[in-house]
Amino acid sequence: MIEMKINKTKWILLGFVALSFILTMIVYPILPDKMPVHWNYHGEIDSYAGKFQGAFMIPIMLLIFYPLFIYLPNIDPRRKNYKKFEGAYDTIIIAIFAFLTAMHVIVLSASLGYKIDMTAYMTIGLSLLFIILGNVLTRIRPNFFVGIKNPWTLSDDDVWKKTHRLGGWLFVLVGILGLFLLLINSKFAAMSEIGGIIAASLIVTIYSYILYKSKMSD
């Protein structure tokens, strides 16, 4: 049953890789010589790339990520723990591939002349990604590649568990906040979400340090 689940995840990831390449090859002949690859928080294009780079950057990235994510657990010194959160791990990598594929579709659409509110789309994408990650974060067991990794969480399993519990709640909160603020103003939502991600990262880092110091002093 485990092998079937792993194979299913592999096929889903390969599906995203294939989709990104197929869509690119379909529209490649009509893409402009310069493609937008970066937008500022106002939603304005502020960086361009050549046609080939702009068209194939994300598909090639997905192609590289595929073996990396699939075989990374095999070289982790704590690889036995992956069996305890394989469902969460599958969810994380599928969510990342879905996010990148969606961003690729948006870039292609913008390059073809469609009016794209990148600020709004990025806020929606990141919000949904963080809600998904937050929901599975509490199920991740100690390892060296996935999760909130710092000297204190990696040094103590209890600190890891409590830090990921708080991190899960904060990630979901940041995602929900981004979607809510999007109803008010997309620029404000984008800036608030970036601030929320930074704040959440700082909070869990400080929290893990306090937990570890408290435990060591007992």
Q: How many Å apart are CA 4 and CA 14, to the nearest integer?
A: 15
Whether the predicted pLDDT of 4 surpasses 80: no
Using one digit for the tens of pLDDT, what is the confidence trace for 153-173? 999 999 999 999 999 999 999
| Average pLDDT for 68-95 | 92
Instruction: Give the mean pLDDT of the chain.
Output: 90
> Of 98, 95, 194, 78, which is closest to residue 136 (Cα–Cα)?
95
Whether the predicted pLDDT of 6 surpasses 50: yes
Structural tokens at position 5? 């689940």
Structural tokens at position 11? 């096929």
**Planar angle of CA 88, 89, 91, nearest 5 degrees:** 65
Specify the pLDDT at position 3: 45
Specify the pTM.
0.90
Cα distances (Å, whole numbers) of residue 8 to 63, 64, 91, 95, 156: 17, 19, 12, 14, 33
Specify the pLDDT at position 2: 42
**Proportion of the chain above pLDDT 70, given as a percent:** 97
Residue in the structure block whose two tokens are 């870039």: 107
Using one digit for the tens of pLDDT, what is the confidence trace for 117-152? 888 898 999 999 999 999 999 999 999 999 999 999
| Average pLDDT for 13-26 | 96
Whether the predicted pLDDT of 193 surpasses 50: yes
Structural tokens at position 215? 């435990």
Specify the pLDDT at position 99: 96
Specify the pLDDT at position 114: 87
